[in-house]
Amino acid sequence: MRRSTFFAFVAPSVVLMLVFMAAPLVIVLVQSFYLTQNVFEEVTVESCTPGFPNPVCTEEIQSRRVLDDNGTPVTETSFVGWETYRILLQPEAVAEAFSVGGGGVSALLDIDFYKAARFTITFTLITLPFVIGVGLLIALAVNNAIRSLRGPVIFVSLLPFIITPVIGALSIRWLFVGDGILTAALEGILNEDIAVFAHGWAFEILMMFYRVWHVAPFAFVIFYAGLQTVNQDTLESAIVDGASRFERLRYVIIPHLMPLIIFIALIHLMDAYRAFDEVIGFRSEAHRITLQWLTFNFLTPDDSGNRAISRASAASMLTMLGIVILLIPLLRRTWRDHRGS
């Protein structure tokens, strides 16, 4: 292929990636180092409630945003360097927690960022082996099923993956909430009042269960495709050599699928670290929050329209950094294999 043809083909993708991925990243990075503040003035205002039954009038000093001639609020933007990151990570509080007489881990987990990071990392690392394991199990089961059954089985196994994440999370919540079908059934059997969502650990387990249920079909599809290309001669010679079913899996099939397992792990680490839908769907904010939810919370305007853009930007950058750190071992391995071959 001529070099110019190659560039003509690739250029649109490169431009789109620059516009929609690189540019936003750079903007968010820059935003995390700047702070935009409103300018306030103090004014004495007499305000009255509507007359029902009688107007209540109060005179009070209010902080009001200063408006310019066009009526838009005046803002001041200043470079604050790492200050926003410091506010998020609170290094002084961390140092205090681990100094003599400090609160230790529980004091650390009282800080929103570490609380969210603790759950996000646990969530990501625990769901990873389950997604790969369950995906592989379904793939093996389907591969060994009678040919006529395969179509329907594949269809049913894929269903969880098609459901919109937040709806899936909601449906699991509805099953287990106070008067949900499953809770009601359990209460009937055990004759005991059950409140699943009054416990942090219950949230944690159900959120992980939901994620595995939701993502395992994706792993299954990939592994199922991989299973179609396993070298049958090698498998047959393994059988002739007397290898058991497990040994064939361990020494023939899994090594063959290894690049796919790494691929699934990469995708899953990236996705799970950005866990968000579970918090919203399960309403777990009191018990468990994730880093991505923290960013969302900073961006949500309150009743007066305030939003913490700088902190949201810094939290986003830290989330990205976390993903990169998690991916390093896998990427190094892929790179070594690549060089080796």
Partner 1 sequence: MAIAMMVNTQHLMYRQDIFDELGLEVPTTYDEMLQTAAAIQGAGVVDYPVGGTFRTGWNLAEEFVNMYLGFGGTLFNDDKTPSINNENGVAALEMMQALTEYMDPEYLGSDSTYVQQQFQQGDIAMAVLWASRAGAMDDPAESQVVEMVTMAAAPSAVEGGPPASTVWWDGIVIAENISDEEAAAAFQVAMEGMDAEMVQANNDAAIWLIDGYEPNRLSEGAIANLMGGTPPYPASTEMGLMHTALGDNLSDFLIGAESAEQALADAEEAYLTAARESGLVQ
Return residues touching partner 1 (CB under 8 A). Answer: 35, 37-40, 49-50, 52-53, 56, 61-65, 67, 70-72, 76, 87, 110, 112, 177-179, 193, 195-198, 200, 283, 285-287, 297, 302-306, 308, 310-311
Report the run of H or E that residue 166 belongs to, with start and end: helix 165-176
Contact, 209 vs 121, CB < 8 A?
Answer: no
Least distance CB 313 / partner 1 (angstroms): 12
Residue 97 or 134: the one with the smaller Cβ distance to partner 1 is 97
Separation CA 158–CA 23 (nearest Å): 35
Least distance CB 198 / partner 1 (angstroms): 4
Q: What is the CA radius of gyration of the chain?
A: 27
Least distance CB 178 / partner 1 (angstroms): 5
Residue 114 or 224: the one with the smaller Cβ distance to partner 1 is 114
Contact, 207 vs 282, CB < 8 A?
Answer: yes
CA–CA–CA angle 118, 119, 121 (5° rounding): 70
Half-sphere exposure of 206 (CA within 13 A, CB side): 27
Residue 171 or 237: the one with the smaller Cβ distance to partner 1 is 171
Residue 203 or 223: the one with the smaller Cβ distance to partner 1 is 203
Which of 150, 97, 83 shows the shortest CA–CA distance to 311?
83
Which of 275, 270, 227 shows the shortest CA–CA distance to 252?
227
At 67 the three-state DSSP class reads: strand
Least distance CB 317 / partner 1 (angstroms): 17
Least distance CB 117 / partner 1 (angstroms): 16
Residue 59 or 76: the one with the smaller Cβ distance to partner 1 is 76
Residue 69 or 233: the one with the smaller Cβ distance to partner 1 is 69
Least distance CB 175 / partner 1 (angstroms): 14
Separation CA 12–CA 19 (nearest Å): 11
Which of 229, 232, 262 shows the shortest CA–CA distance to 248?
232
Residue 46 or 76: the one with the smaller Cβ distance to partner 1 is 76
Least distance CB 180 / partner 1 (angstroms): 10
Retrieve residue 161's tokens.
């993956």
